[in-house]
Chain A
Amino acid sequence: MKHALYGLVVIAATATVAMAAETAPTDVKFEDGAVGASLGPAGDAANGRKVFANRKLGNCLACHVNSDLAEQPFHGEVGPPLDGVADRWSEAELRGIVVNAKNLFEGTIMPAFYISEGYNRPLKDFAGTPVLTAQEVEDVVAYLMTLKEQ
């Protein structure tokens, strides 16, 4: 119990530090579905790879095939395969897609990962919060930028 609490304090502290330089979900500026400016934190592709696969975080594998994560079983087929996705989209576009894909793909099933309002009846624990933190979004974007085939 003591350890768990300690862990929480550390996370909370890191979050506060990081938040100072972060763009809040409601302040993200879109241009043609893309988000040019970083949300603040520098992206860490290795962690982005983990966020991508984690069922409680990105869970991107729920809908996308990604050969780079072949060691993970069960890749979904709801969205397009993401192999070589960085050849098709710029970093700004990829950030836009992760933050809120609905701006680029109207009516898409793909959830917005960095909005804090505009959804109905959220479970209490998720109300007013985005699925991913600014750091996690940047990590995922950095990771997506590594998915090149050319």
Chain B
Amino acid sequence: MRLTKISAMAFAALIAGAGVATADESAELSIEGKTIPTRAEAPAYLENIDEVISGWVYRSDETQTLQADDFDNPAFVFVDTGADLFAEADGSAGKSCKDCHENVEDFAGLTTTLPRVNEAGELETLTDLVNECRTERMGAEPWKYSGTQMTAVTALIGLQSRGMPVNVAVDGPAAPFWEKGKELYYTRVGQLDLACANCHEDNYGNMIRADRLSQGQINGFPTYRLKNAKLNSVHGRFKGCMTNVRATPYKEGSDEFEALELYVASRGNGLAIETPSVRN
């Protein structure tokens, strides 16, 4: 134990020496004068966690600050593109989203409940809903899952729920999807043989090489990443984490990733929507 203590100090010195920007885990997120809670009591079905915490909490001061001001937040360039796309007619029906949804503000609250099970008994995500409008009502081609158009428009729609608590259904018709997502969350995969839970449940708050691990919450998606300077989708992130452990990822939009999305969303029930968030 003595050794551990000395090493921990050495570690602190290393961090300082390397000039790593440490996260201020007690910082409060306030955007445009409005406080957005970044912590909430964990839902009862989370057996190993008492508090759910936004990924914002674990980012560096600089990254935290970028998200705290819509003018500085680089994601808003894409949200503006989303607004243009929203009003742009496309497809054989010659319609835009706006022709049916006059005020995008009316979508306030929508993303707090997604993914959800529809009347046909299928699990649907925001991406599914957008593409359904495009193919069924506009006569247009579906957008690519993580393409610029899809992430821009889902960011615009998600923004309308900013500050509202995530509240996805986990029981009733959602239960089998939720169970499947839970199983995926705890299943080790890849040559490195790791599950989501190994990093995001057992080790949040700890550094893993240059990154501080968060709980892997999705309340801020689509998220702008400084690493690739664009909006990143939920399934794109899942894919990245699986590839990092040298696992063959599931396909974006697959049943597996949609179930996992529901389960991960439910791990953030009670947290405020932060779309569009900023991450490294």
List residues of A whose CB falls within 8 A of some B CB.
55, 59, 61-63, 65, 67, 70, 73-78, 80-84, 87-88, 109, 111-112, 118-124, 126-127, 129, 131, 149
Task: Please pick, from A65, A74, A82, A120, the residue contacting B188 in the complex, using a CB distance under 8 A.
Answer: A120
With a cutoff of 8 Å between Cβ atoms, the chain B residues found around residue A73 in the complex are 14, 17-18, 20, 210
Q: In the complex the two chains form, what is the Cα distance from A62 to B192 in whole Å?
A: 13
Q: In the complex the two chains form, what is the Cα distance from A83 to B20 in whole Å?
A: 22
Q: In the complex the two chains form, what is the Cα distance from A112 to B246 in whole Å?
A: 13
With a cutoff of 8 Å between Cβ atoms, the chain B residues found around residue A61 in the complex are 209
Residue B40 is within 8 A (CB to CB) of chain A in the complex = no
Q: In the complex the two chains form, what is the Cα distance from A109 to B255 in whole Å?
A: 27
16 of the cross-chain contacts (CB-CB < 8 Å) are A62-B208, A65-B8, A65-B10, A73-B14, A74-B209, A76-B208, A77-B11, A78-B207, A81-B3, A119-B193, A120-B190, A121-B190, A121-B248, A123-B190, A126-B246, A131-B191
Could you tell me if A83 and B6 are in contact, using CB atoms closer than 8 angstroms? yes
Task: Please pick, from A59, A83, A121, A149, the residue contacting B247 in the complex, using a CB distance under 8 A.
Answer: A121
Q: B1-37: which have CB < 8 Å to A?
A: 3-4, 6-8, 10-11, 14, 17-18, 20
List residues of B whose CB falls within 8 A of some A CB.
3-4, 6-8, 10-11, 14, 17-18, 20, 187-194, 198-199, 202-203, 206-210, 213, 242-243, 246-248
Given contacts A75-B14, A120-B190, contact A109 B203 (CB under 8 A): yes
With a cutoff of 8 Å between Cβ atoms, the chain B residues found around residue A76 in the complex are 206-209
Could you tell me if A83 and B188 are in contact, using CB atoms closer than 8 angstroms? no
Could you tell me if B7 and A65 are in contact, using CB atoms closer than 8 angstroms? yes
Q: In the complex the two chains form, what is the Cα distance from A66 to B2 in whole Å?
A: 15
Closest chain-A Cβ to B187's Cβ sits at a distance in Å of 7
